[in-house]
Amino acid sequence: FYTKWGKVYSHVIRSLKDIEPDLLVFYNYPKQSRASIYSTNMIESFNNVIKRKAKPKAEFPTEQSLDA
């Protein structure tokens, strides 16, 4: 990854390398425990709400049914 994108996005790659230990600490936990770790990230939270609403429905016949 670093080799492929480092030349094109050097500033981003440098920043990524600086935060990499903190960014990947999630993977230090056992795989079974990772599912129960939640983030406070607003986008992730929003996606979880969408999943909860969409999961019980087999299909959405209209756009209005998405708002239900």
pLDDT digits (tens, 9 = 90+) for 2-53: 899 889 988 888 888 888 888 778 788 888 877 777 666 767 777 777 777 7
| DSSP letter for each residue of 9-62 | SHHHHHHHHHHHHHHTGGGGS-HHHHTT-----HHHHHHHHHHHHHTT-S--SS
Give yes or no for a contact between 52 and 44, defined as CB atoms under 8 angstroms apart.
no
Q: Is residue 36 part of a domain?
A: yes
Pick the more confident residue, 62 or 10: 10
Q: Which domain holds residue 54?
A: 2-58
Q: Is residue 64 part of a domain?
A: no
Q: Is residue 67 part of a domain?
A: no
- Domain count within the chain: 1
Q: What distance lies between CA 56 and its chain's CA centroid?
A: 22
Q: Is residue 63 part of a domain?
A: no
